[in-house]
Structure 1
């Protein structure tokens, strides 16, 4: 009987499952991209040298304090609570009747940005200090050092953590049903409420979530392998570099 219900639920409700899965992917993808950009900006700002004194020092300290409050708040509170506060609070406090999909993307973005800020900070710290000193020695300022030396390495190093955050966002969008976002969990709850077959309906949703996360994980691992390069590297000494790669072979 359960197998028959599985088939009936999929056959009769696949458009709702498809719309829910699509909304989940849209929100999680856009939210992860925007959140990664937020985290990258915060990570770079936190590494700006503060100097010994003056207006620059206190300005940077103030900005860093504000960014620290933002990071700690959104890392220290559940996304489901943030959704309620942002969506209903924007209407109550500022009279803004926010679109639910826009609110969902905003919530996922700022939540992801807080986590990505720490990921980026860790990636920057992992770069050897000698590379910063070498960049300064050849006349690079802080921004040139970040753009040309540090960030290319950081982006490669944080890709696995960014992918993990993306997978988490795909699953965590389920909490956005509390503000009426029609993502996969919301659609599944509606389907289960119509036929009173909660196990079968949510098991189908479970499989859809699993398929989405596996596909995303495999795509990200493909890009990781491309950025990492070959497993075997040929070490060249100064004489080999002078001779050139072809003669070295």
Structure 2
């Protein structure tokens, strides 16, 4: 038909532009028939009661200690005495060295126990069984009195000497604490190694890595995340257990405080001095343990644990929590 428009544009001619869509008319939202509700947090009166009770108990304890016949000036004067500071240094030294020895022995015997060799596995089991099954105080006394059954240490042609000259108080303390700690660290390291998926080891072997290199480069770095927390606890415990070496004449913190107390008759005051220093040492190393655990937690947690300062600011901000309006 002559009146009808052609379906397509003429050959070679320009096409008609597309018609833009017409926007839909905007409809204003209907007014809410409800009024805004102010949500007030529930007041937990039980928490305030508990806080008052705890503060009252603390005040009572402080008052009770203040009534005792304690010369607090002596505690303050002897807190930084040269003998006490030397004992603090000896405590830190024997704890760090013994922990290092225990960690090396722990890794060694953990690998031996996980070995498929029945001889090394049995030796590792016997070592852990003996040193975990006997008190560390008994082990210290055994090393201290070793000369009663071995007057001479004869390891010819390598070494020969009198046992009394060899077994100094430091060496006795090191052997007693370090060997005992090695047994506990062996179990901690073994648990950390077994926490790593076996596919990691299989993949390393598929790439041609040896067993020792796989353990050093693949397994142990991943196991550290499991090993670090209990190792930190063991070191804190080592600081306190080191007080037992006073029985073998090693001049650590408790020994130094006891000597001063015996000479000045301020026995309880010097025990307070030793307790204060033990609290300081454990607190300092506990902070270090926290940040070490936080470092090794990277990659395994979505959000890292809050630092002590972040916890304080979070608690303060929660006390000033604003009221929330709910519709």
The TM-score normalised by the length of structure 2 is: 0.64
Equivalent in the alignment of 2:136: 79
Unpaired runs of 5+ in structure 1?
51-59, 234-249
Structure 2 runs not aligned, ≥5 long: 1-66, 153-162, 304-327
With 13-22 and 179-188 compared, the bigger mean Cα shift is at 13-22
Q: What CA RMSD, in Å, does the superposition of the two structures yield over aligned residues?
A: 2.1
Q: 2:100 aligns with which of 15, 23, 33?
A: 33
In structure 2, C-alpha distance between the alignment counterparts of 1:152 and 1:105, rounded to whole Å: 27
Rounded to whole Å, the distance in 2 between the matches of 1:161 and 1:12 is 34
1:8 is the counterpart of 2:65: no
- Worse-matched range after superposition: 124-133 or 170-179: 124-133
Measured in 1, the distance between the counterparts of 2:69 and 2:91 equals 26
Shift of 1:94: 4.3
Q: Is the 8 A contact 1:188 1:202 kept in 2?
A: yes
Residue aligning to 1:220: 289
Secondary structure, in 3 states, of the residue corresponding to 2:145?
Answer: helix
More helix by share: 1
1:149 aligns with 2:190: no
**Deviation at residue 9 of structure 1 after TM alignment:** 4.2
Note the alpha carbon deviations across 1:109-151, whole angstroms, 9 max, x for none: 1111111000001111111122222222333232122112101
**Which structure is larger by alpha-carbon Rg, 1 or 2?**
2
Once the two structures are TM-superposed, the CA of residue 229 in structure 1 deviates from its matched residue by 2.4
Deviation at 1:46, TM superposition (A): 2.3
**Which protein has the bigger strand share?**
2
Specify which structure has the bigger relative contact order, considering alpha-carbon pairs within 8 angstroms and separated by 6 or more residues: 1
The residue that corresponds to 2:127 in the other structure is 70
Structure-1 residue corresponding to 2:195: 126
State the number of aligned residues: 223
What TM-score do the two structures reach when normalised by structure 1?
Answer: 0.82
